[in-house]
Structure 1
Amino acid sequence: MYFQIKAYLQFLFKSQNQHGLHSPFVYELVTKCFYDKKDHKGYHLIKNYRNDLLRNKDLIEVTDFGAGSRVFKSNLRPVFSIAKNAGVTLHRAKLLYRLTKYLKIDKALELGTSLGIASSAIGANEGTELTTIEGCPETANIARKQFEKYQLNNITLRVNEFEPELDRLVQENHKFDLIYFDGNHQKQATLNYFEKLLPASHNDSVFIFDDIHWSAGMEEAWEEIKRHPKVQVTIDTFQWGLVFFRQEQVKQHFRIRL
C-alpha cells in the first residue's frame, strides 16, 4: 500500500490535464473521450451488470494464476466482494466503454475476464466483437451467465490459461484493434504477453495495461514497454497505461489525470 501511495503522489506531481498537450491525436482523445461528460446509452447496461454482481452473495472458489490478491486471504470468496474489490470500478468501466466507442473498435481481446465487468463495458458497444480469456472456471461461469442475461452475444469467452490461447490466436493470425491486459500483475508475465501479442496489433491498435503502478515490477514492465521501438505514444493515467503504435507520430509519453 505504501508503494502505491508514493507512486500516486509522484504521478500527481508529473501529470497534466488537456492543457499543454502538443499532440493533436492525444488532445482530441483526452478532450473528446477521457473528459466526455455525456450520458451514453451503454452506461445503463454496465451499471446494471455491475450492480447485479454486487448483490450476489454466492461463494465461489477462485483460482489465481497471477500476482494474487492483496484483499482476500482465502480462495473461497463471495461474488459481491470480488466485484467490489477486484472488479473494474464503474468510473473506469464507463471510460473503457467510451474508448471502445471513440476509437471505433471492431475486434477486441481481453486477458482476464474475472466476472466480466470490463467485458460488459467493451461489449456494450454492439459493433465490437470481444474475445475474453479467463483461467478460473468459477469466475468464468459467473461471467458467462451474466453475458447471457444481458444478451452480450458479441462476447466470446474462452476458459483456459493465457499461454495456449494466445499461441492459438497468433498462429491463426488474428488482429485486434484493442487488447486489454488485466490478468497477471507480474513484470515478466506482462512483458511476455506484450511481446507475444505484438503480431496481433496493427498501426491503429491500442493496448491497455491495468495496474501499471501495482508494484515496482509492474512499473519496470511499463518502462520497458514504453521504450519498445514499435511503441510511439503512451498515456499513463495511473491505473492504466495506454499504448499506441501510430508510426506517423513522433515518440511521446504522457501522464494524464482523470
Structure 2
Amino acid sequence: MTILLSYLKFLFHSKNEHGIHSPFIYDLVTKCFYNKTKYPEYIILKKYRKLLLENKNTIQVTDFGAGSRIFKSNTRKINKIAKTAGISPKNAKLLFRITNYFQPENILEIGTSLGLATSALSLGNQKAKITSLEGCPNTIAIAKNQLELSKINIDNINFINAEFTEYLSTYNTQPTTYNFIYFDGNHSKKATLEYFESLLPTITNETLWLFDDIHWSKEMEEAWEIIKKHPKVKVTIDTFQWGIVFFRQEQEKEHFIINPNKTLSSFLFEKIKI
C-alpha cells in the first residue's frame, strides 16, 4: 500500500515537457524520454527477455540486498526472476534511449542480475566500456551465457562477481571516471548512501547517475531525499522508478518530477519490482 500511495503522490506532482524551463532537461524529456523512434535494438532487447522467460532452470541465488517481496526461498527459477525482478520492457527501452542519448564512454552497473539492463546499456552505446558488478555467482553466470546466446556483443563488458561494498572500498583507492553509473543493487538506505559517497570521487561535470527503485521503501525514499540535498548534486529527476542525478555545475539546483511514459496509468499496469 505504501508504494501505491507514493505513486499517487508522484502522479499529483509529476510534469511532462510543459512547464519545464531548463533547456537541458527539456531536451532530455522531448528528445529522449518521449522519443517514439522504433529502434531496431528494441527487437534485440525483446528477444533477450524472451530467452530468459523461456529458461525454466533453477538456480541458487546469493542475495546481499534488501531481500525479495516475492520469493520466499533463494532457490529460484530463471524465468520467474526475469519476470518479477528484472527491469520492465518499457524501462529497458528508456535505459537504452538514455544511454544512446548521452553516449557515455565508461559505464558502471551495480547489479547485473540476469543482464536485462546490461543489454540495454550495451546496445545504447556499443563503443562504451561497461563494468558490471554482481554479488551472486550463479546469476552473473546466467547473464553472461544468455547474452552470448542472444548475440549481444559482450566484448565491451567486464563482468565482476563481487560484493558491492567490498569491491567499491577496494576500488576507491584508484578511482576511475565513470560517465554513467546505474545503481540497481542493494535497495537499502545504508547501502545506497554508502555507494553514493564511495563513488563521488569519480564524478565529472557531465556525469549521470541513475538510482533504481527510489520509492521501493520508506528508507529508499529517505536515501533519495539525502542524495537530492547533497551540495555536489545540481539537478535531479524523479521518474518514480528511477532517481536521475546530474552534477552540472552550470545548472541551478533544481528537482524535477517527470512521468517518462506520459500516461497516468503506466506504472499501475507494470509489475512492481521486488
Same fold (TM over 0.5): yes
Classify the secondary structure of the residue corresponding to 1:204. coil
Structure 1 stretch 11-20 or stretch 40-49: which is displaced more?
40-49
> Does 2:234 align with 1:235?
no
Alpha-carbon distance between aligned partners in 2 of 1:40 and 1:230, rounded to the nearest angstrom = 35
Classify the secondary structure of the residue corresponding to 1:238. coil
Residue of structure 2 in register with 1:187 after alignment: 189
> Does 2:76 align with 1:77?
yes
Task: Render the CA deviation track for 1:238-257: whole Å, top value 9, x for unaligned.
Answer: 00000000000000000001
Task: Render the CA deviation track for 1:70-116: whole Å, top value 9, x for unaligned.
Answer: 01111111000000000001110111111011011111001110001
Alpha-carbon distance between aligned partners in 1 of 2:168 and 2:207, rounded to the nearest angstrom = 17
Describe how 1:182-221 pairs up with structure 2 within 5 A.
Answer: 182-221=184-223
Once the two structures are TM-superposed, the CA of residue 221 in structure 1 deviates from its matched residue by 0.2
Alpha-carbon distance between aligned partners in 1 of 2:157 and 2:89, rounded to the nearest angstrom = 19
Alpha-carbon distance between aligned partners in 2 of 1:30 and 1:244, rounded to the nearest angstrom = 14
Task: Render the CA deviation track for 1:177-212: whole Å, top value 9, x for unaligned.
Answer: 100000011001100100100111111111100000
Alpha-carbon distance between aligned partners in 1 of 2:174 and 2:144, rounded to the nearest angstrom = 24
Once the two structures are TM-superposed, the CA of residue 47 in structure 1 deviates from its matched residue by 1.3
Residue of structure 1 in register with 2:254 after alignment: 252
Residue of structure 1 in register with 2:58 after alignment: 59
Once the two structures are TM-superposed, the CA of residue 41 in structure 1 deviates from its matched residue by 2.4
Alpha-carbon contact 1:187-1:220 (below 8 Å) kept = yes
Residue of structure 2 in register with 1:113 after alignment: 112
Residue of structure 2 in register with 1:128 after alignment: 128
Alignment: residue pair count: 257
**Structure 1 spans left out of the alignment, 5+ residues:** none
Alpha-carbon distance between aligned partners in 1 of 2:120 and 2:193, rounded to the nearest angstrom = 25
Residue of structure 2 in register with 1:167 after alignment: 169
Residue of structure 1 in register with 2:36 after alignment: 37
**Structure 2 spans left out of the alignment, 5+ residues:** 261-274
Q: Give 1:53's aligned amino acid.
A: L
Classify the secondary structure of the residue corresponding to 1:152. coil
Alpha-carbon distance between aligned partners in 2 of 1:81 and 1:27, rounded to the nearest angstrom = 37
Once the two structures are TM-superposed, the CA of residue 129 in structure 1 deviates from its matched residue by 1.3
Alpha-carbon distance between aligned partners in 2 of 1:189 and 1:156, rounded to the nearest angstrom = 23
TM-score, normalisation: structure 1? 0.98
Task: Render the CA deviation track for 1:30-60: whole Å, top value 9, x for unaligned.
Answer: 0000000101122122111111001000000
Alpha-carbon contact 1:147-1:153 (below 8 Å) kept = no
Query: How well do the aligned residues superpose, as a CA RMSD in angstroms?
Result: 0.9
Alpha-carbon contact 1:231-1:251 (below 8 Å) kept = yes
Distance change in 2, residues 1:181/1:249 (3 Å): same
Classify the secondary structure of the residue corresponding to 1:171. coil
Alpha-carbon distance between aligned partners in 1 of 2:14 and 2:48, rounded to the nearest angstrom = 32
Task: Render the CA deviation track for 1:109-158: whole Å, top value 9, x for unaligned.
Answer: 01110001000000112111110000001111101112322232211100
> Does 2:13 align with 1:10?
no
Once the two structures are TM-superposed, the CA of residue 173 in structure 1 deviates from its matched residue by 2.3
Alpha-carbon distance between aligned partners in 1 of 2:2 and 2:162, rounded to the nearest angstrom = 32
Alpha-carbon contact 1:147-1:155 (below 8 Å) kept = no
